[in-house]
Amino acid sequence: MSLKENNLVKKVTNKGFLDIPIPKKLNLIKEIKKLKKEKNAVLLVHYYQDPLIQELADYLGDSLYLAQMASKINNDKIVMAGVHFMAETAKIVNPSKKVLLPDLKAGCSLADSCPPRDFKLFKKKYPNAIVVTYINCSAEIKTLSDIVCTSSNAKKVIESIPNDKEIIFAPDKNLGKYLIKETGRNMILWNGSCIVHEAFSFDKILKLSNENPDAKFIAHPESDSVILDFASFVGSTTGLLNFVQRDLSKKYIVATEVGILHEMKKKCPDKIFIPAPVQDDSCACSECAYMKMNTLDKLYNCLLYELPEVNLSKEIISKAKKPIERMLELG
Ligand code: 13P
Ligand code: SF4
């Protein structure tokens, strides 16, 4: 590695991203599009990203779609405008590609809530259980799993497991509780949650719904069960997006990260979408602070310098690949 490259890597190590000033007059949108071509890079973007980044996507979607697309990419580089576990998943399913993430500190409260050391001890208590992990977990947790799922296919994954088998579901207790209700399977749950989906206020949602009797309330299954029980429809990010396109209502109160409203408004320009209210009025809690760590500046530097890169050991890749592939095989 040259001295210059070495210094750049050091910069990333300190901050998690390349903090290099960008010339003021630069048209970042144009430059990012140009760099994608020059570098033979594909930009995968989650619906929770800033709308400006969503507009630059080669592929825009939910966690399942991004994992599926990452496994099919032939280009040299994959840039993940999402969070760390999504970049790790891309590396696991397509290890020969250089996988870049604009900010390495773009983490996830669900992934953080499940440290591998604690999870190993937890797993030991149920030696015969099948371990199903939500994709929102670290690569190391995936190596301890039998099958991975996302919110789009979780029900299908649980239903694929023989009825006589005990199931551990981690790390999201809310999605877990929802799946227990939906499938009738009595699973052992890990006690993790998403800070964004747990921030919604049931009382305020109730009040807002009373003020807007023509609005349908819809929610992501990472939300608390009181909120899910009140929803007219529960679904993954893509599930919610598909629902508002086929449903006949004109107005929706949406309990998930606000980034999805951008695509909802694009797909249904005549409909009204209201973000569900959160408990703390002083915070922008329905925005995922981790997802929003990726900015246009960081994306530009990431493409230009091809850093930060997400790497995993061969051992982790080979062990984590199996449960992800089992999920992808289910379709
Ligand atoms: P989906 O992309 O599966 O809807 O999950 C939402 C989420 O919280 C991603 O971090
Ligand atoms: Fe994690 Fe929740 Fe952010 Fe998704 S929205 S990345 S689950 S913290």
Q: Which residue spans within 153-264 are E strands per DSSP?
A: 167-170, 188-189, 215-219, 233-234, 251-255
Mean pLDDT of the 130-159 span:
98
Which CATH superfamily includes the segment(s) 3-107+291-314?
Answer: NadA-like (3.40.50.10800)
Task: Kindly report, residue by residue over 221-277, the tens digit of the pLDDT.
Answer: 999 999 999 999 999 999 999 999 999 999 999 999 999 999 999 999 999 999 999
User: Atom 6 (ligand 1): residue with closest C-alpha?
Assistant: 237
CATH number of the 202-275 domain: 3.40.50.10800
Q: Which ligand is nearest to the CA of 194?
A: 2
Average pLDDT in the chain: 96
Provide the percentage of residues in the chain whose pLDDT is more than 90: 93
pLDDT at 180: 98
Note the pLDDT of residue 126.
98
Residues of the chain with CATH 3.40.50.10800: 3-107+291-314, 110-194, 202-275
SS3 46: strand
Phi then psi for residue 306, to 5 deg, are 55, 45
Terminal Cα-to-Cα distance of the chain (whole angstroms)? 41
d(CA 147, CA 110): 17
pLDDT value at residue 3:
80
Q: Tell me the mean pLDDT in the region 172-190.
A: 98
Cβ of 150 below 6 Å from ligand 1: yes
- Which residues contact residue 234 at a Cβ distance below 8 angstroms, ignoring those fewer than 6 apart? 178, 218, 219, 220, 221, 228
CA of residue 222 to ligand 1 center, whole Å: 8
Which pLDDT belongs to residue 14? 83
Instruction: Provide CB contacts within 8 A for 161, sequence distance 6+.
Output: 130, 132, 147, 167, 185
Q: Tell me the one-letter amino acid at 150.
A: T
Q: What is the pTM of this model?
A: 0.97
Would you state the pLDDT for residue 88? 98
Give residue 284's pLDDT band: very low, low, confident or very high (50, 70, 90). confident
295 lines ligand 1 (CB under 6 A): no
Q: Is the pLDDT of residue 5 over 90?
A: no
**Ligand 2 pocket check for 215: Cβ under 6 Å:** no
Specify the ligand 2 atom closest to the Cα of 108.
Answer: 1
Of 21-25, 53-57, 107-111, 295-299, the range with the lowest mean pLDDT is 21-25
Ligand 1 close to Cβ of residue 63 (< 6 A): yes
Residue 285 has pLDDT above 80, yes or no: no
pLDDT of residue 269: 98
Residue 17 confidence (pLDDT): 95
Residue 295's pLDDT band, with cuts at 50, 70 and 90, is very high
User: What are φ and ψ of residue 232, in 5° steps?
Assistant: -75, -25
Architecture of domain 110-194: 3-Layer(aba) Sandwich (3.40)
Q: Is the CB of 289 under 6 A from ligand 2?
A: no
> Residue 4 pLDDT > 90, yes or no?
no
153 close to ligand 1 (CB < 6 Angstrom): no
Mean pLDDT of the region 36-54:
98
Ligand 2 centroid from CA 106, angstroms: 10
Tell me what the mean pLDDT of segment 284-298 comes to: 94
Is residue 124's pLDDT more than 80?
A: yes
- Answer yes or no: are the C-beta atoms of 113 and 291 closer than 8 Å: no
Kind of pairing between the strands at 188-189 and 147-149: unpaired
Testing ligand 2's pocket by substitution, the residue of 141, 194, 256 carrying the most ligand atoms inside 8 A of its CB is 194
Q: What's at 169, amino acid-wise?
A: F
Whether 39 shows a pLDDT value over 90: the answer reads: yes
Structure confidence at residue 2 (pLDDT): 79
Averaged pLDDT for residues 286-313: 97
